[in-house]
Every structure is written in structure tokens, then in C-alpha cells.
């Protein structure tokens, strides 16, 4: 007996932008029930975005939706831009009103806010627990600079090079110049090798050298060890950056909340804006949210 094939909808969505071919592209499969792990990985590899989100039915009453994220080579526990993309597609397909829902992802169950604005949507996700690791060892930092093509003088001396996580850790590297940021051409093999020894796959190079009063920071993110040479706009990098800016007193705030816009992707022609909100208690960051807009580039179907 021939097994009946199931038809799956697949979207390509640009997140953290309202312009097609800007921001960060993510694949979204909005009704992924029935796909095996291997099939999800194959779809993610075929789409070849930094991440593809697979929306699944909830498994318990404590959450409304279950989402899994795959890079072209592996599953990852959390992804900012693919979360924005997934909930944008879900909102459009279901013509949702403004609401808050609970999503199950690899790091736990966290809320997502869907805000309807005229005929469009803004999505804001609460990220996971904030973790600060000790500054990178001097020997690791030296290797990192070599692989990034930087020298010590390029670094912003105020900014310790350290791993920070809000669910999916990144090495934060602060440098002085936006021009230098946009000229980087890293040694991807070297960064992949270093990832094995420091236990972190993502390198987020940022600068506070901004010419716009609306934009607090500019950044670039490289994660070759998990198949992402450069990620255009990264929620799981700009979120930790927000916590980092509060912890190290690099940003003015009212004592309760820091809110700012971060730009990423300029150097590769895919500029996007991340809205970062950090909740603060006794001068320390205690919760991070990232949000933004999205636009559907195309929709197709496959049979599997």
C-alpha cells in the first residue's frame, strides 16, 4: 500500500525589517506535525537560511505552541529572528488580534507578545535567563583577535570580551569603530576551531559608534561552527548585548528599564533593526525582550 504524502506549507520571511530582502531571512513551516527530526533537518538544509522554525502542536497545557529551530547543519535551542518570523506567519495565517501566548522552545516555556498594528504585526519575545561568564582568557582572546583580523587597539577598552547568554550564548566583542566593524573579514575555520575550546559558537562584534540618535549599537555575528558564516540580524546576540550594557553601565536608563534599537546587517546589505528591552532591578539586568517587524517574501508547498 502506497503511503499518502502530506503537503506542508513553507514560508520565507525576512525578520527585523518591513522591506523584502533586508533583515534576516528565516524559513517557517507553520504546520510541522508529522515531520521527523531528519526531515526537519533536510528542509532547513534545503532552504539554507541561518535558521528555519518548525511550528508544532503543544504537548502540554502549559504552553500554546511548540517551536523547534534548525540551522542547515544542526538543531539549536533558541533563535530570535526565526521566533519573530514564526509568530508573524502564525499571526497572519490566523488573523490574530493582539495577544500574549506561551511558546515552548529548547530553553523552556517563554511568553511572546503579538501586537496588531493596523493590518500588520509586531512580535516581541521574552528571552531566557541571563548568564554572564568570566571574561575570555587572555590566550583565547589573542586567538580570537587573530581570527577576526583585529588588533588590541581596535577593542573598546571599556568592554570586556566575554560570553553572555539569554538562552543561546554569544561571545561579545566591543570595538571602537563602525568603519572597522564593516570591514571585518574573519577566518571562519579559525573561529570554528576556537568554538570547540571555549564552548561557544557565536561571535558578536559590536560598536557603540553610532551616528544616529535612534540607534544605540551596530553589530555583526559569526557562527561558522554551526553552519552560519554570518547571521544578518541576531535576536540572540542583541538581547545579551542589552544585558551586557546594563551590567557594565554603558547605557543610561531610568533604573527600571533600558530600551534601545540595535542595527545589524549593514555590511552585507541586509540591514535590520532589533528593539531591545531590558528589565532592571537594583542596577542589574533581570530580563531581556527583543522584538521587531517582519515581511513574508514567499510561500510555497512541498509533499513529504
Residue positions annotated with a catalytic role? 51
Q: List Cα–Cα distances, 129 to 53, 134, 165, 260, in angstroms.
A: 21, 16, 8, 20
**Whether the Cβ atoms of residue 240 and residue 170 lie closer than 8 Å to each other:** yes
As a whole number of angstroms, the distance between CA 110 and CA 175 comes to 32
Backbone dihedral region for residue 255 (phi beyond 0: left; psi -120 to 50: alpha; all else: beta)? left
As a whole number of angstroms, the distance between CA 113 and CA 94 comes to 15
DSSP per-residue letters across 179-198: HHHHT----HHHHHHHHHHH
As a whole number of angstroms, the distance between CA 90 and CA 117 comes to 15
Place of cell 551616528: 211
As a whole number of angstroms, the distance between CA 112 and CA 134 comes to 30
CB atoms under 10 Å from CB of 301, counted, come to: 8
- DSSP bridge pairs for 205: 173, 220
Cell of 54: 518548525
- DSSP bridge pairs for 303: 7
How many residues make up the chain in this entry? 304
As a whole number of angstroms, the distance between CA 168 and CA 210 comes to 26
- DSSP bridge pairs for 195: none
180, 253, 185: which is closest to 216 by C-alpha? Answer: 253
Amino acid at each position: 500500500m502506497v503511503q499518502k504524502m502530506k503537503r506542508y506549507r513553507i514560508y520565507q520571511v525576512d525578520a527585523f525589517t518591513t522591506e523584502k530582502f533586508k533583515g534576516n531571512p528565516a524559513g517557517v513551516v507553520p504546520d510541522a506535525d508529522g515531520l521527523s527530526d531528519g526531515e526537519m533537518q533536510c528542509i532547513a538544509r534545503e532552504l539554507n537560511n541561518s535558521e528555519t522554525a518548525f511550528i508544532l502542536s503543544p504537548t502540554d497545557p502549559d504552553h500554546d505552541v511548540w517551536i523547534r529551530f534548525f540551522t542547515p547543519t544542526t538543531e539549536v535551542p533558541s533563535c530570535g529572528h526565526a521566533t519573530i518570523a514564526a509568530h508573524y506567519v502564525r499571526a497572519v495565517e490566523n488573523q490574530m488580534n493582539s495577544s500574549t501566548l506561551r511558546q515552548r522552545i529548547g530553553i523552556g516555556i517563554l511568553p511572546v507578545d503579538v501586537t496588531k498594528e493596523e493590518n500588520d504585526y509586531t512580535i516581541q519575545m521574552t528571552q531566557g535567563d541571563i548568564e554572564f561568564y568570566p571574561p575570555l582568557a587572555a590566550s583565547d582572546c589573542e586567538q580570537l583577535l587573530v581570527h577576526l583580523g583585529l588588533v588590541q587597539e581596535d577593542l573598546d577598552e571599556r568592554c570586556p570580551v566575554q560570553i553572555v547568554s539569554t538562552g543561546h550564548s554569544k561571545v561579545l566583542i566591543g570595538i571602537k569603530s563602525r568603519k572597522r566593524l564593516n570591514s571585518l573579514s574573519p577566518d571562519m575555520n579559525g573561529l570554528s576551531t576556537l568554538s570547540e575550546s571555549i564552548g561557544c559558537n557565536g561571535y558578536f562584534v559590536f560598536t557603540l559608534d553610532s551616528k544616529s540618535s535612534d540607534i544605540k549599537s551596530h553589530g555583526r555575528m559569526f557562527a561558522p561552527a554551526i553552519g552560519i558564516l554570518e547571521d544578518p540580524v541576531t535576536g540572540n546576540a542583541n538581547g545579551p548585548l542589552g544585558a551586557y550594557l546594563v551590567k557594565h553601565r554603558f547605557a543610561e536608563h531610568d533604573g527600571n528599564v533600558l530600551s534601545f534599537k540595535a542595527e545589524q546587517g549593514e555590511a552585507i546589505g541586509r540591514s535590520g533593526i532589533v528593539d531591545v528591552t531590558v528589565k532592571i532591578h537594583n542596577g542589574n539586568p533581570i530580563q531581556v525582550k527583543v522584538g521587531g517587524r517582519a515581511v513574508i517574501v514567499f510561500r510555497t508547498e512541498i509533499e513529504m
